Structure formats: C-alpha cells, structure tokens
Amino acid sequence: MNDVMQQLERHEGYLASDPGNTELLARVVDLSLAVGEGERARRHAQAALARYPDDMFFLARLGSSHLACQVWSEAAEVFEGLLARHADLNLAYNLAYAYVWLGRHADACAAMTPYLEAAELSPAMVTLLVRALHHLGEGERAIALAEAHMADCAGDAAFNAAASLVCFDAGLLERAEQLSAAALALGEAQPHPRAPLEALVTAGSLALARVDSDAAAAQFQQALALNPAEGRSWSGLGTASLLKRDLAGAQQQLEQAVRHMPSHIGSWHLLGWSRLLAGQLDSARAAFQTALDLDHNFGESHGGLAAVQALQGQRELAEASIERALGLDGESLSARYAQMVLAGETADPQRFSRLAMRLLSSRQGAFGQNLAEIAKQYASD
C-alpha cells in the first residue's frame, strides 16, 4: 500500500507538468481508488472530465469514485447513462451495486438480467443478485441462481453466506447449515479472517431453532460486531435472551430490533411478550398494538393484545380480541393463553412463566421437533 501511495504521489507530480495527459489522468484516478482515497479519485475524475467531458472511460471512473465515496444516487446516474450508451456487464454490475444500496432491489435485478448467461459472471455479481432476489421475496429464484453457479462460486465466502440465509428462509435447513459452515470456514482462511455477516445470522438462527440459546447469542453478537444496525440479529439475540429469562436484556435487544426493522411484526410480538413477562402491561399493549397497526389480519397480534387485556382485567375487550385472533388463526397460542388468563389458570407466577415461554417457542422446530414440548422441558428445569 505504501508503494501504491508513492506511485500515486509521483504520478500526480507528473500530471502537474502535463495536466492534459489522458494516461496520467486515468492512472491517478485508478491509483487513488486502489489506496481507498475516494474523494481524491473524484477530484481527478472531475478534472479529467472538465477536459474530456464525453469520455466514457473517465465517466466510468467518476462512477467508480462515487461508489467509493458511497454517494449512491450520483453513482447510479452516471452508470445509467453509460449503460444506455454501451451494453456491458461491468457497467451493469456497478449500476446494480448502487441500486442495492439505494434499496432499489428490483432495479438491481433488472440491470443485471440481460447478462445472466454471461460466462464471465463473477461470484460478486452472482452474490449481488442472490441478495437482491432474497430482498424481493423471490427465494426460489435466488436459490436456483445460486445452485446454477455453485461450481464457480463455491470458494467465495460472501456467496456461500448469502446463499445460506436464502436457504434458511426457504426452509432448506440442512443446505443452509452446509453453506453457512462453508462461508465461515472460508472467512477464517482469509489473510485477514472475517466471518461473513449472513453466515453468522444463519448459524445463529439455526442454533435458536435448536433452542441452543447460548450458541445463538454468540453468533448474533458476532454479527452485530460487524454491523450494529443488523436488525435480524438484534431480534435473534432478544429471542435468545427471552429463552434464558433475561427479560431486561431481551427488551433492550428487541427495542433495537424494531428500531432497525420497524415493519417486522414478529419482533414487535417478541417485544410485547418481553414486556408482558416483566409485568409492564401498558408498554406490552403498545407493542402488540403497533403489530396490529402494521397488519390487522395477523392472529397472533390480536392474541397478544388479548393477553394484555385479560391481565388488565378487561374481560369484554379480551374476549373480543380472542374471537378475532381465533377467527384469523384457529391455532393462535396467544389467544389460547389469554383464555387461560380469563379462566384463572395462570395465577401461579411460575406456571405463568412456563406457559409464556411455551408460547414464545411454540412454532414447529426447524429440525422437526415440537418446540412447545422442548420449551416446556426447558422452562421446568
């Protein structure tokens, strides 16, 4: 890196004597990018374009400089114009990369679609498309794309990590575990070991599915060390804390989860239960109400609200909420729990805690276990 910096300074000296030299202008932009000097690269690219305003190569370098500076809208504008003039895989990838950071996942896929059969599609390009399709809820397409390119991309940590999370969300749990393990091993084998974020999220989610709360917490904590704004990891960590009966920790973590994922109904449910278990009924009610405001057709939101209303002695309101919950989901455990409260079956605080823990872990286990039974045993230890 020191050698590259010296080259950059030397070439800038040459450029001062010959400011219109296109080779020198290109070289100083490229060297600036190589040493991570995005703003420096932008200044040189803009100086080049002041002399050669329609030069596609300098425009492309300006777009790359925008990417390095994380000014995604400006980068997208440059690459949109270039791609309209010249169909090129690398231009399309740079445009798609900017779109992903702008949250325009459909546009990212559209930019790359004409090049899906290109022989030179790199692991980074495939990974971007897998992530974009995942964000769009097109898990099947993402998995098909990943499997189609597995032979060429299997040695790439980021690719394996992205594919692992898509497989987990699609219920392909053994495949998710294989890919996550491969990604973590590849990350450790790098000169500067770094665990890929998505692989950690997958590993934590798999551990949580096995009700191994300690292992899950360790994975989610590693993920959050890489990205403190990773809402899914905050939610997973909060769930692990709930299972360990750390209500204060769970509340703090789940509040972070909904801050970063304000539309994630499941995290609002978990936050509501963490508050309910702590006896904070008004704030629990607010969490379940937020979940309801996001989607009035989710039975567990009505059931959670019913549980709070029942505990607050609001029988008529609770019964109405129970009816709505069971109408939407005949298996709503939150509603069943509210019925137990109204019937006086939860007066015993220890029984109350056990039943609530069963609720929190009542979904079918990822590996076929009935988590209600696992949690029943876990809570009675």
Which pLDDT band holds residue 211 (cuts at 50, 70, 90)? confident
Mean pLDDT of 89-114: 96
The two structure tokens encoding residue 330: 């005949």
- Distances 46 to 11, 245, 379 between C-alpha atoms, Å: 17, 58, 64
Mapping DSSP to helix (H, G, I), strand (E, B) and coil, where does residue 370 land? strand
Average pLDDT across the chain, whole number? 89
pLDDT at 373: 41
Residue 284 has pLDDT above 90, yes or no: yes
Which pLDDT band holds residue 336 (cuts at 50, 70, 90)? confident
Maximum mean pLDDT: which of 249-253, 349-353, 358-362: 249-253
Note the Cα 2 to chain centre separation in Å. 36
Residue 359 has pLDDT above 70, yes or no: no
pLDDT at 242: 87
Residues ≥6 apart with Cβ < 8 Å to 344: none
Which pLDDT band holds residue 368 (cuts at 50, 70, 90)? very low
Mean pLDDT of 109-114: 94
Domain boundaries, the chain: 121-199
Residue 130 has pLDDT above 90, yes or no: yes
Mean pLDDT of 343-368: 57
Residue 365 has pLDDT above 50, yes or no: no
On whether the CB atoms of residues 160 and 127 are closer than 8 A, the answer is no
The DSSP-derived string for 41-91 is HHHHHHHHHHHSTT-HHHHHHHHHHHHHTT-HHHHHHHHHHHHHHS--HHH
The model's pLDDT over 18-27, given as tens digits with 9 standing for 90+, comes to: 999 999 999 9
Q: Tell which residue, 50, 55, 60, has the closest CA to residue 20.
A: 50
Residue 72 has pLDDT above 90, yes or no: yes
More confident residue, 244 or 28: 28
Packed helices 38-51 and 56-68: angle between N→C axes, nearest 10 degrees: 160
DSSP class of residue 113 equals: G
Residue 362 has pLDDT above 90, yes or no: no
Residue 189 has pLDDT above 70, yes or no: yes
pLDDT at 235: 94
pLDDT at 106: 97
pLDDT at 349: 58
Residue 30 has pLDDT above 80, yes or no: yes
pTM of the model: 0.86
pLDDT at 287: 97
Place of tokens 């300690």: 214
What's the CA gap between 163 and 196, in Å, rounded?
A: 12
Residue 129 has pLDDT above 70, yes or no: yes
Q: How much of the chain exceeds pLDDT 70, in percent?
A: 91
The model's pLDDT over 43-66, given as tens digits with 9 standing for 90+, comes to: 999 999 999 999 999 999 999 999
Mark out the alpha helices in 261-314 (DSSP H runs): 265-277, 281-294, 299-311
What's the CA gap between 178 and 173, in Å, rounded?
A: 9
Mean pLDDT of 350-370: 51
Residue 273 has pLDDT above 70, yes or no: yes
More confident residue, 331 or 85: 85
pLDDT at 346: 64
Q: Tell which residue, 341, 333, 339, 342, has the closest CA to residue 376.
A: 333
Residue 153 has pLDDT above 50, yes or no: yes
Residues ≥6 apart with Cβ < 8 Å to 273: 242, 284, 304, 356, 359, 360
Q: Tell which residue, 261, 257, 218, has the closest CA to residue 234.
A: 257
Class in CATH terms, 121-199: mainly alpha
Q: How much of the chain exceeds pLDDT 90, in percent?
A: 75
Residue 380 has pLDDT above 70, yes or no: no
